[in-house]
Structure 1
C-alpha cells in the first residue's frame, strides 16, 4: 500500500478558503519592510497567501487584507504583479 503524500494546504487571506499551496501565490514582507511576490514560496519573511484568481486579488486589495497580514502598506504594483501572474498561469492552461 502506497502512502499518500500529504498536500500542504494554505488559507487565502482574501477568501478564507483552503487550497493546496501550489494553487496559491505567496506575498512576502522582509524584515527590512520590502514587499514582493514570492513565486518560489521559499523566501524568508512574513508571508501571506492569495488564491490564483483575479477576484481574490481584487478582494484582497479592496479589503486591504495583505496590509493587515503583512503589517505594512502593500503598494498597488504588488496587486498588478499578482494579476499578471494569474493571467500568465491561465494562458498556460
Structure 2
C-alpha cells in the first residue's frame, strides 16, 4: 500500500502532518516541534501493510520512498523535503 504524508509548517503553530491512506480514513496531528517529529508521528500510525510513502512539504512532493528507507533516514529525508520545497518556491518566484 502507498500512503501520502503531507507536512506543513506555520511559525506560530509548529509542524503538522496529514496522512492520506487509500480507501481508509487518514489521520493528522499539529503543533509538533520539528519536521522530524512530524514524520515520526505520521509513521507511527501506519498500517502494517504499508510499503511506500509519498512525502510532501508545504504542497511540494519531495519523493516516494519505501517505508523502510524513510524510517531509517527520517532526518535526511526531512531536510530533503524542506530544501525541495524551497527550491521549487524560488524557481516559481
| Same-fold call, TM cutoff 0.5 | no
TM-score between the two structures when normalised by the length of structure 2: 0.33
TM-score between the two structures when normalised by the length of structure 1: 0.33
Larger radius of gyration, structure 1 or 2? 1
